[in-house]
Structure 1
Amino acid sequence: MRLNSLDGPGGPAPGGLGDFGSTPAEKTSAANTIETELEPNTKKATEHADEATNTAVAGFDGWETAAGLKKVADTWDKQVKNLMGRLSSEKGALRGASGLFVRNDIGLGDQFRPIGSQSRLNGL
């Protein structure tokens, strides 16, 4: 058994060959997809489900079924609120990660610049 193998019986090691799984452009694209497709479509689907459920609750007024549907609708609304919050968090994390990597790279480059400027290899 080899723990340091890139390719094992299950395929490549997690993380592949050490490269990032996506570029800043891909992160931006994913964040934009969340903003322009997932969030609006989730909201639209929720509104449609709420309308249909409210109609059903009104149709079963006075029956226990109406109370049960109302309870399900309340649970649904809480879950949708959590999902929308999660989508928003993921969108922000994707946008923030790209900037964080760039700032980190620039900072590291700035730390190495003084070393390179003092090298006797400069000008060879």
Structure 2
Amino acid sequence: MQLNQLTPGGGGGAPDLASSPARKKAAGNAIRNDLVPGVKDHGDDAEESTATAVREFGARDGDGWDTAAALKKAHATWEKQVKALRDRLLYEQNGLLKTAVDLRSDDIGIARNIRSKSTIDYF
């Protein structure tokens, strides 16, 4: 199979598609340096303020407000969502940073497999 020409318009990808290794690396670094720490920091902020609210609505003289229990339950859900978001960001970051290596390895392997053998290769 051989590609003789590009599609009309010079290609099929979106103009802002990060397809170069440099752009993939920049996107992966942005996730690592900006997004993941930001998610962690904002998650920690929510944890502190929720803990304060739970203490304020909690039992002091026997009974507490139902709000304290509801906040604890909502916070447990929040923690799961923050963890899921961080895990997804790390997955995407690893994928972006690993793609260039994988594609290069695939190209080398494919070239090696389809290269025609010469009689020199057997000696």
TM bucket, shorter chain: 0.7 to 0.9
Normalised to the residue count of structure 1, the TM-score between the two structures is 0.72
For residues 1-124 of structure 1, the aligned pairs below 5 Å read: 17-18=11-12, 21=17, 22-61=19-58, 62-111=64-113, 113-114=115-116
One-letter code aligned to 1:108: I
User: For the residues of structure 2 that align with 1:111 and 1:24, how far apart are their CA atoms?
Assistant: 25
Quote the offset at 1:103 in angstroms: 1.1
Moved more, 101-110 or 57-66: 101-110
The equivalent of 1:3 in structure 2 is none
% identical equivalent positions: 41
Quote the offset at 1:104 in angstroms: 1.6
Aligned residues between the structures: 105
Quote the offset at 1:59 in angstroms: 0.9
Judging changes above 3 Å, is the alpha-carbon distance between structure 1 residues 53 and 82 closer, same or farther for their aligned structure 2 residues?
Answer: same
What do the CA deviations read for 1:35-79 (whole angstroms, capped 9, x no partner)? 111110110000001111111111111100011111110000011
Judging changes above 3 Å, is the alpha-carbon distance between structure 1 residues 68 and 19 closer, same or farther for their aligned structure 2 residues?
Answer: closer
Q: CA RMSD in A?
A: 2.6
Unaligned runs of 5+ in 1: 1-5, 119-124
User: For the residues of structure 2 that align with 1:111 and 1:18, how far apart are their CA atoms?
Assistant: 28
